[in-house]
Amino acid sequence: MKKISAVVLSLVVALSLACVALLGGCSGKKATEVPTEDVTLQIYAANSLSKAMEEAQALFTEQHPNVTFADTQYKSSGELNSMLEAGGQADVLISASAGKMDDAEAAGYIDAASRTTMFKNDLVMVTAANNDAIAEVTLDDIASGQYTVAVGDDSVPAGNYANQSLSTVGCFVDPDGKTGSESAGKANGTDAYAGTPIDGKVVTDTSVGNVCKHAESGDVDIAFVYTSDVYRFGGVKVVGTVAADTHKDIVYPAAVIANSANSQAAQAFIDWCLTDEGAQEIWQKWGFELAGE
């Protein structure tokens, strides 16, 4: 009996190892294989991913020399959708907003079955790195009206998240009267800061990178950006982390474009981003956290 048990145990172990090798673990789906023919992928990605994505793409091509990347388009998530609406040809869309990806899915721009959430991020308040006058800031401090502020405009998810948080302390007036995560964080053509403690003290801009630069240059005291932007740009320091329960979850969904001619390679790249050890080190280096962690 002992000999039979040993044989059975050996078979179970062998089958388990085979399962891990083939599927990356029996509980996970099998990663899409990278095609062997030459492929050039066009990625549309949120601005905040630029530095990390450049490194990731270089590593992917190093591992798979037949797959190269066209000039990746880094824009605000709203701009990326507008490019697709105008007929832009891409293979992968990575947004900084679940809502913007919802819009892309509703418009038929993406393969809905391929959609997955890749990363999480935090919203932080930053000031110029050499600004010794500001060490720590809270939303309540912003509501005191003592600081000038920069946020993204309606097309910038980081700005939407910032406005949602500002609404909880009476510094942003949602046109629909909503606050926090219930708000879309969009002014919709109104002066949503009018009559608030920061009335006349807000600068808006068209990308989170530009918002960060306003703080770095000293144009404003405080800018609302992602943690990853501090790694990406430098020149600023974090003086406060915005409570996650004051805004919608900051996630980065990805999907293969519906009419992509390179759908297998596109899906393989997304899978690789989430599973390759080297890729994970790159995301962490630039301040991103995998959504599954």
What is the pLDDT, as a whole number, of residue 29?
56
Is the same domain home to 168 and 202?
yes
Question: What gap in Å lies between CA 156 and CA 74, rounded to an integer?
Answer: 12
Q: What is the DSSP string of 50-79?
A: HHHHHHHHHHHHHH-TTEEE---EEE-HHH
Number of domains in the chain: 3
Residue range 67-92, pLDDT digits in tens: 999 999 999 899 999 999 999 999 99
Residue range 168-221, pLDDT digits in tens: 999 999 999 999 999 999 999 999 999 999 999 999 999 888 999 999 999 999
The answer to the question of residue 289 being in a domain is no
Is the same domain home to 139 and 190?
yes
Is the same domain home to 162 and 228?
yes
The answer to the question of residue 290 being in a domain is no
Tokens encoding 277 = 């050890």
Average pLDDT of the chain?
Answer: 90
The alpha carbon of 257 is separated from its chain's Cα centroid by a whole number of angstroms, namely 17
Across 36-50, average pLDDT: 95
